[in-house]
Structure 1
Amino acid sequence: METTRTSTRPIGPVAGGWTRRDVEQDNGWIHTLSGEEVDALEQALRHALQTGKDRFDMSLEDFPLDASVRRRLVALIDETQGGFGFKLLRGFPVQRWDEDALRLLFWGIGLVLGVPRPQGKMSQFVSDVRDAGGTYRSNTGRGYNTRSGLDFHADGSDMVGLFCVRTAKSGGSSLVSSSIAAHNEMVRLRPDLAAELYAPLIFSRQGEQAPEEAPYYAAPVFGIRDGHFACRHIRNHIKGAQQSFPDVPRLSPQQIEALDLFDELLAREDLCYHMDLLPGDIQLLNNHIVLHSRTEYEDHPEPERKRHLFRLWLALPQAQPLPHGWLDAYKDVDAACVRGGFRGVGITPQIRAFEARIARAHGMKLRIYPEKEAA
């Protein structure tokens, strides 16, 4: 498998990026929900609950959010396509609703913003982020079902949303870092190593591939398309490929040094921002220009008090085009297309119809599955 750099473009800094100090001095990334917005969200939730519909039978009309509030949410997502690349919606009263209702609320917000994407082997579309006894540092490890501290990484979608229901006894801070700022610092310090990450590396699918997929794929960490920089970094999956597949090329000393330096820069105190999520917070991150992580946490002993967040992956109608080298990972890399996710083994005709319906509502093309299944 070819893993050498295929482009001779000069490696240089790209526009944008932010530092920790920038985020600390500008709290415009926090949107505190107004009483009007909470009322509108709760009214839409009540309607969705009354329909009794399965999530995959829903349309946007089943979560009838007030038009002005919907425009406000979409405008906030528009802002994540540049600038800091993230927003925090603060203040939804989670104590008023049970977990099933909160899950449906988050789903409804997702439908308003884009097309939800599957997140694993069982094709789950809303993941429960909580300690389920998983092992992060393993050939099939995923971080969301452990209490481990995580590497900086991007999730497999245009946007990742986290809805905080309960916090841990201690720890579990959300860490965010600008991949643009870390890239530019890497270019300044070691342009030769930055060039290594424009070449394809091998990523494991961590045992969660769909039946038609190989268990690993090649993709560069950095890419630029139509003037848009993008970063897709998942060190745990790169390590997983090295550990699981003797037939994939071994990382060179230069590639390892490049990955180590990039990880070091992402976590550097002047670049990394620490964010403590509160119950009722919804964090929305642009995966293409922001990488995220989490500190290890200690949970409460009582099951009903344990840390619990919902996670949603979205394909967005306004998201940027992606590097062509990401095609195997995302299945589509053009703008205004449904892309990303870990398809898994549980995609049903009902889900196919749901994705097509929501894609049409957002004016997005859906062409990510094999032609033999399109009939």
Structure 2
Amino acid sequence: MSTFIQTNLEKPRAWFPQELSRDSSWIHFLSREAVTEIEEALQHAKATGKNWLEMTANDFPLKRHAKQAIDQAFAVTQTAYGMCLLKGFPVERWSVEDARLAHWGIGLNVGVARTQNIASQVMNDVRDEGGSYKVKNGRGYNTNAGLDFHVDSCDVVALLCLQTAKSGGTSKVTSSIAVVDEVKRLRPDLIPVMQQPFYYSYQGTNDASQPPFYKCPILGDDPEFFALRANRKNVTAAQRDFPEVPRLTSAQIELLDLLDELLPDDKFCYSMQLDRGDMQLLNNYVVIHSRTNFEDHEEPERKRHLLRLWLSIPQGQRLPPLWKEYFGDIEAGSVRGGVRGSQITEAFLAYEKRQAEHLGMTLRRAT
């Protein structure tokens, strides 16, 4: 069983950009000792010769300073602003493969990785690989496009920045709670609409046994735990690609239009440029994110490159009942989320079971 730092900070709450500018409590810096211990863990992991899915936290052993820094950063995502920026990973002296292994090893210490695409990969390279965004089955992570505001399919998304763009690629984050408060103020009649099911395309990432779309309300109705899930691009794709999906009502369209106005508004949206060695951690139930389009450097080794992990974590909150169709499990501290894809392996299933047991998390597999 892993031990996690308990914080006395408040539960996630509404925030505004000027607060993030004034209060740097959500920005953490790795100490020299923590960096040394992370690099020692990296060398240990390399020496095991194991592939990722065979590894446990013992194969990436974090000593006191590093463990405290990592545990605290993830704990902070469940409080106040719902996010943490952890700075100082020495990516400039790591190969890309070493950076991938370090990112994976940190994940082993805090959560259960979720598969992210049709190939059932547990880590994605966020870089321009010539993909297209707003097309059938288009995803944003392999393009240089600006992205719609969205949340990822996990408790916490962890992005490790290896290279920055020549220009653009600005990260944008907005408090989902603040935006819902604004909807309540402007259009209280649309709150019940937010709690109606919306239909989303899986964008081709579903398992063959699953339908190609799913339904999920945008706003949860749990009185204790706020939860919002929105991705208009995938709603639009479901309307375009699947005639059997119920058509959006005029009220649902009004709501989506209002969210499109509010989410990028400077009153609510905070912009940040990730630096090399930054790890951005976002709680997907209370923070919604985006990025601007970007222009890359010419040299391949300098092109914008981030590594993305989707993680279920033991501190994960309870989710709304109507989210179960998509997440698979809604109980606090359960393994849920991700997209299955078509290449789930026995090795992944063994990893998932082992990690859940190590972290004391509930694992109920879909049948």
Which amino acid in structure 2 is aligned with residue 162 of structure 1?
L
CA distance in 2, matches of 1:75, 1:225: 26
Picking from 60, 64, 81, the partner of 1:63 is 60
Q: Secondary structure, in 3 states, of the residue corresponding to 1:145?
A: coil
Q: Is 1:45 aligned to 2:42, yes or no? A: yes
Q: Is the 8 A contact 2:12 2:82 kept in 1?
A: no
CA distance in 1, matches of 2:212, 2:323: 16
Choose 62-71 or 17-26, whichever is displaced more: 62-71
Structure 1 residue runs of 5 or longer lacking an equivalent are 1-13, 371-375
Picking from 145, 148, 168, the partner of 1:151 is 148
Q: TM-score, normalised by structure 2?
A: 0.95
Picking from 18, 24, 27, the partner of 2:24 is 27
Q: Secondary structure, in 3 states, of the residue corresponding to 2:25?
A: helix
Q: Residue in 2 aligned with 1:84?
A: 81
Choose 188-197 or 356-365, whichever is displaced more: 188-197
Q: Residue in 2 aligned with 1:133?
A: 130
Picking from 92, 95, 99, the partner of 2:96 is 99
Q: Secondary structure, in 3 states, of the residue corresponding to 2:72?
A: helix
Q: CA RMSD in A?
A: 1.2
The alpha carbon displacement at 1:170 in A equals 0.3
The alpha carbon displacement at 1:226 in A equals 5.1
After superposition, residues 1-375 of structure 1 pair within 5 angstroms as 16-225=13-222, 227-370=224-367
Q: Is the 8 A contact 1:226 1:321 kept in 2?
A: no
- Identical residues among aligned pairs (%): 48
CA distance in 2, matches of 1:74, 1:319: 14
CA distance in 2, matches of 1:184, 1:262: 12
Q: What count of residue pairs does the alignment treat as equivalent?
A: 357
The alpha carbon displacement at 1:15 in A equals 7.8
The alpha carbon displacement at 1:68 in A equals 4.4
- Where do 4+ consecutive residues of structure 1 move more than 4 Å? none
The alpha carbon displacement at 1:351 in A equals 0.8
CA distance in 2, matches of 1:136, 1:363: 38
CA distance in 2, matches of 1:269, 1:337: 35
Which amino acid in structure 2 is aligned with residue 311 of structure 1?
R
The alpha carbon displacement at 1:263 in A equals 2.1
Q: Secondary structure, in 3 states, of the residue corresponding to 2:290?
A: strand
Which amino acid in structure 2 is aligned with residue 343 of structure 1?
R
Q: Secondary structure, in 3 states, of the residue corresponding to 1:123?
A: coil
CA distance in 2, matches of 1:211, 1:353: 21
CA distance in 1, matches of 2:65, 2:125: 30
CA distance in 2, matches of 1:54, 1:353: 13
Choose 75-84 or 163-172, whichever is displaced more: 75-84
Which amino acid in structure 2 is aligned with residue 82 of structure 1?
T
Q: Is the 8 A contact 2:33 2:65 kept in 1?
A: no
CA distance in 1, matches of 2:284, 2:328: 16
Q: Is the 8 A contact 1:331 1:340 kept in 2?
A: yes
**1:12-65 CA-partner distances (Å, limit 9, x unpaired):** xx9821001111110111101110110111111110011110000001100000
CA distance in 1, matches of 2:253, 2:327: 24
CA distance in 2, matches of 1:224, 1:196: 12
The alpha carbon displacement at 1:232 in A equals 0.5
Q: TM-score, normalised by structure 1?
A: 0.93
